[in-house]
């Protein structure tokens, strides 16, 4: 294997800090090309922020939240993709993941009108508030991963806020063989004080791109849950091929608990810890659930 070097890029967007660790060959040409591609990826995230971030009044989400009932709001194509996935996950998780959670009341189909062909959204209920939470950041990471793969930078670790991570082809990079699963924050040490556990990843898993997402009690806002905790879980970690989906499922799993998701089946693994901080990936204990490829198809 050719000698590789680690190239790091940090920036803030969507209300959180993004970190790209991209591994490239050590020659100057590849280093310069890596920097160019990284900045292309950063620009893509900035464009997504303009559509998906609830923290920007001019984004599609911001305009919807500030709009009056029955006022058409034109949205972007990326908004349409994420919103469509959000609605599918909401349906399949029976509302455990809910992009309307900040509305304060349960939103029904008649509370909004949505035309994915004309890209026009109308809210019919003045209480409606939309928040993608981490899935907007997860979608951004999926887009960044696609850019890096297209440009043949296949070894990387990219993250948004530390709670959503994609790792790809890092089997020959020892420092990337483990992931740190944050379980709690030590407030006496400030924002930098975390406690958790290291998880060793199987070598075969390191050879492909996989996304990890965390939802935990310590997090500010409790993943848009409004301070509510519906299940006796301290933290959840979900693995999937898509960061957008793993983010949505991490939130849903945290809300629903083991009992609420036991009917799901398939290809992404759920991990969780209980209040004793015991990592669980144990089929005998009934704590390994698999999501099938077609799990979001209409039921």
Please state which of the ranges 15-19, 56-60, 109-113, 241-245 shows the lowest mean pLDDT: 241-245
Classify residue 113: in a domain, yes or no: yes
pLDDT digits (tens, 9 = 90+) for 165-202: 998 888 778 777 777 666 665 544 444 556 666 666 66
Classify residue 4: in a domain, yes or no: no
Cα–Cα distance for residue pair 90/207, rounded to 1 Å = 31
Instruction: pLDDT band for 21, please (50, 70, 90 cuts).
Output: very high
Task: Examine the pLDDT at 114 and tell me if it is beyond 80.
Answer: yes
Domain count, the chain: 1
How many of the other CB atoms lie within 10 Å of CB of 34?
22
Classify residue 103: in a domain, yes or no: yes
pLDDT of residue 77: 94
Instruction: pLDDT band for 286, please (50, 70, 90 cuts).
Output: very low
Classify residue 138: in a domain, yes or no: no
pTM, rounded to two decimals? 0.83
End-to-end alpha carbon distance in the chain: 47
Which burial class, exposed, middle or buried, applies to 294 when counting CB atoms under 10 A from its CB (0-12, 13-18, 19+)?
A: exposed
Instruction: pLDDT band for 160, please (50, 70, 90 cuts).
Output: very high
Q: Tokens 């939240």 correspond to what residue? A: 65
Classify residue 106: in a domain, yes or no: yes
Chain-centre distance of CA 107, in angstroms? 22
Q: Which of 39-48, 131-140, 289-298 has the highest mean pLDDT?
A: 39-48
Return the percentage of the chain with pLDDT > 70, whole number: 69
Instruction: pLDDT band for 288, please (50, 70, 90 cuts).
Output: very low
Q: Average pLDDT of the chain?
A: 79
Q: Higher confidence at residue 284 or residue 199?
A: 199
Mean pLDDT score, 223-237? 53
Cα–Cα distance for residue pair 187/218, rounded to 1 Å = 9
Classify residue 87: in a domain, yes or no: yes
How many of the other CB atoms lie within 10 Å of CB of 199?
14
pLDDT of residue 188: 45
Classify residue 118: in a domain, yes or no: yes
pLDDT digits (tens, 9 = 90+) for 236-266: 778 778 899 888 888 887 777 666 666 655 4
How many of the other CB atoms lie within 10 Å of CB of 191?
9
Task: Examine the pLDDT at 278 and tell me if it is beyond 70.
Answer: no
Q: Do 280 and 273 touch, CB atoms closer than 8 A?
A: yes
Which burial class, exposed, middle or buried, applies to 275 when counting CB atoms under 10 A from its CB (0-12, 13-18, 19+)?
A: exposed
pLDDT of residue 282: 40
Cα–Cα distance for residue pair 162/244, rounded to 1 Å = 14
For 118, the domain range is: 60-123
Classify residue 187: in a domain, yes or no: no
């Amino acid at each position: 294997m050719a000698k590789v070097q680690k190239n790091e890029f940090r920036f803030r967007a969507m209300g959180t800090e993004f970190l790209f660790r991209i591994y490239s060959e050590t020659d100057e040409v590849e280093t310069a090309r890596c920097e160019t591609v990284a900045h292309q990826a950063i620009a893509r995230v900035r464009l997504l922020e303009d559509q998906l971030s609830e923290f920007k009044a001019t984004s599609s989400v911001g305009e919807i939240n500030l709009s009056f009932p029955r006022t058409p709001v034109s949205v972007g194509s990326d908004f349409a993709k994420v919103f469509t996935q959000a609605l599918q996950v909401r349906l399949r998780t029976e509302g455990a993941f809910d992009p309307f959670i900040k509305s304060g009341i349960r939103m029904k189909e008649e509370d909004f009108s949505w035309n994915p062909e004309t890209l026009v959204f109308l809210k019919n209920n003045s209480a409606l508030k939309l928040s993608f939470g981490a899935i907007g950041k997860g979608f951004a990471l999926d887009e960044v991963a696609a850019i890096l793969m297209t440009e043949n930078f296949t070894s990387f670790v990219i993250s948004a806020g530390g709670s959503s991570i994609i790792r790809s082809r890092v089997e020959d990079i020892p420092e990337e063989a483990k992931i740190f699963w944050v379980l709690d924050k030590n407030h006496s040490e400030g924002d930098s004080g975390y406690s958790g556990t290291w998880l060793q990843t199987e070598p075969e898993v390191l050879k492909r791109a996989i996304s990890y997402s965390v939802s935990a009690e310590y997090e500010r806002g409790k993943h848009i849950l409004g301070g509510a905790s519906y299940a006796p879980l301290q933290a959840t970690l979900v693995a999937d091929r898509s960061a957008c989906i793993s983010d949505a499922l991490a939130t849903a799993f945290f809300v629903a608990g083991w009992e609420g998701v036991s009917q799901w089946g398939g290809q992404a693994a759920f991990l969780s810890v209980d209040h004793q901080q015991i990592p669980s990936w144990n089929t005998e204990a009934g704590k390994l659930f698999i999501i099938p490829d077609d799990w979001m198809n209409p039921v």
